Amino acid sequence: METTETIKTIDTAYIKRTKNGRINIRSGNKIDLVIKWTIFMLTVLSIMAFFFFDYTGLQLVRAITETAYNLRVMFLEPTLNHFSWGEAFHQIGITVGLGVLATIIGGIIALFLSFMAAENLSKPWISKTVRVVVAFIRAVPTVLWVLIFAIAAGLGSEAAILGMLFHSIAYLVKAFSEAFEEVDPGILEAMRATGSNWWHIVTHGVLPSTFTYLLSWTFLRFEINFGVAVAMGAAAGAGGIGFELFMASGFYFDLREVGFITYAILIIAIVLEVISTRLKDRFFPSSVSN
């Protein structure tokens, strides 16, 4: 059996040379192979999943008909039946407030922790320690953190904010620190050569270069926290529009009210996205155009 020596790997082929001087070219590469096997395994697992479903009592035609009727009632006939418009805006305000508090407090704490987590701004042992801790916190889902604090601190808005705050800090520390590490090392070296201290480097070299990314990640986390606040409105006893959605869907079974609340949540999500884009367009137009 001839031994081979790899000469070069390109995007579309393996090129190998044997000891007798022959060159063997084989189409494909490792990335293509991994992608193909990943798609194949996901397809097989998806097909297998259908065989484990419990189809007892399933009437497919009736299920499709009733689902279509429910969707029509929910999204084409939205209305309020169990609370007023004023109360609806109040509950929406509670949900938005939960997301705002968790994001602002988490962003401030994460900003300082990310300075310690960034390898180009901190000592290696400090950076690794902070990264390990936030990785552990981030590995636990936000919903689980909220439920943990709901048990420890009792049901209410405090549990929801603390749970979202924990995961927000871990999420933003990773995002912020990676943005700091993308700063051109030449800028930092030039500032150190001129005698700038650590805080001067951060405020005049790092933050101005990464502020757009920090703003984008913060708004993205706020959108996530808003979604979690909706989901935790009933589970953590935090109230808000999520609690009304739980009551309408699980207690009253009012599809029209569920549709109204769904539209309200969708409109808020769109407004948040528009605000985020407008802020970046107004204060950082050059970074957006690039």
* Residue 199 CA from chain centroid, whole number: 30
Q: CA-to-CA distance for 50 and 61, rounded, in angstroms?
A: 18
pLDDT at site 190: 86
Q: CA-to-CA distance for 175 and 161, rounded, in angstroms?
A: 20
Enter the tokens of residue 270: 């769109």
Per-residue pLDDT tens over the stretch 12-62: 455 555 555 565 555 556 777 888 899 999 999 999 888 888 777 778 888
Taking the model in full, what pTM does it have? 0.73
159, 145 contact by CB (below 8 A): no
pLDDT digit string (tens) for the chain, length 290 residues: 444 444 444 444 555 555 555 655 555 567 778 888 999 999 999 998 888 887 777 788 888 998 899 889 888 888 888 778 888 888 888 888 888 999 999 999 999 999 999 888 888 899 899 999 999 998 888 888 888 888 877 777 788 888 889 899 999 999 999 999 888 888 888 888 888 888 888 888 888 888 888 888 898 899 888 888 888 777 766 778 888 888 888 788 888 888 898 898 889 888 888 887 787 777 655 544 44
| CATH 1.10.3720.10 intervals, the chain | 82-289
CATH no., domain 82-289: 1.10.3720.10
163, 98 contact by CB (below 8 A): no
What Rg, from alpha-carbon coordinates, does the chain have?
A: 26
Per-residue pLDDT tens over the stretch 58-84: 788 888 998 899 889 888 888 888 778
